[in-house]
Amino acid sequence: MGLLQEKLSKFRLPQMYMEKGVYPYFREIDSHQDTEVIMDGKKVLMFGSNSYMGLTYDQRIIDAAIAATRKYGTGCAGSRLLNGTLDIHVQLEKELAEFIGKDEALCFSTGFTVNEGVIPQLVGRGDYIICDDRDHASIVDGRRLTFATQLKYKHNDMEALEKELQKCEPDAIKLIVVDSVFSMEGDLANLPEIIRLKKKYNATVYVDEAHGVGVFGRNGRGVCDHFGLTDEVDIIMGTFSKSLASIGGFVAADKDIINWLRHNARSYIFQASSTPAATAAAIEALHILKTEPERQEKLWKITNYALKRFRECGFEIGDTESPIIPLYVRDTDKTFLVTKMAFDEGVFINPVIPPACAPQDTLVRFALMATHTKEQVDYAIDKLLKCFKELEIIK
Ligand SMILES: Cc1ncc(COP(=O)(O)O)c(C=O)c1O
Q: What is the pLDDT of residues 123-156, one digit of tens each?
A: 999 999 999 999 999 999 999 999 999 999 999 9
Q: Write down how long the chain is.
A: 395
Distance (Å) of CA 66 to CA 57, 248, 276, 290: 13, 17, 9, 22
**Radius of gyration of the CA atoms of the chain, in A:** 21
From the CA of 271, how far away is ligand 1's center (Å)? 17
Q: Which residues line ligand 1 (CB under 6 A)?
A: 110-112, 115, 136, 138, 179, 183, 208, 210-211, 239, 241, 249
Contacts for 149 with CB less than 8 Å, ≥ 6 apart: 127, 128, 129, 168
Give CA angle at 242 (107, 198), nearest 5°: 65
- Nearest atom, ligand 1, residue 181 CA: 1
Give the predicted TM-score (pTM) of the model. 0.97
Report the pLDDT value the prediction gives residue 159, as an integer from 0 to 100: 98
From the CA of 238, how far away is ligand 1's center (Å)? 8
Report the topology of domain 15-46+293-390: Aspartate Aminotransferase, domain 1 (3.90.1150)
SS3 362: coil
Give CA angle at 189 (357, 56), nearest 5°: 75
Of 236, 241, 250, 268, the one to substitute when testing ligand 1's pocket (max ligand atoms within 8 A of C-beta) is 241
For the segment 172-227, what is each residue's pLDDT rounded down to a tens digit? Answer: 999 999 999 999 999 999 999 999 999 999 999 999 999 999 999 999 999 999 99
CATH architecture of 59-291: 3-Layer(aba) Sandwich (3.40)
Which strands sit side by side in the sheet containing 128-132, from one edge to the other? 104-108, 249-253, 235-239, 204-208, 174-179, 128-132, 149-153
SS3 295: helix
**pLDDT for 395 beyond 90:** no
**pLDDT for 358 beyond 90:** no
Report the pLDDT value the prediction gives residue 330, as an integer from 0 to 100: 96
Mean pLDDT, the chain, rounded, equals 97
State the average pLDDT over residues 271-282.
98
**pLDDT for 305 beyond 90:** yes
**pLDDT for 65 beyond 90:** yes
From the CA of 146, how far away is ligand 1's center (Å)? 19
From the CA of 122, how far away is ligand 1's center (Å)? 19
Tell me the domain boundaries of the chain.
Answer: 15-46+293-390, 59-291
**pLDDT for 242 beyond 90:** yes
Report the pLDDT value the prediction gives residue 221, as an integer from 0 to 100: 98
Q: State the alpha helices, DSSP H only, in 171-264.
A: 191-201, 223-226, 255-264
For the segment 28-60, what is each residue's pLDDT rounded down to a tens digit? Answer: 999 999 999 999 999 999 999 999 999 999 999
State the average pLDDT over residues 101-105.
98
Report the pLDDT value the prediction gives residue 207, as an integer from 0 to 100: 98
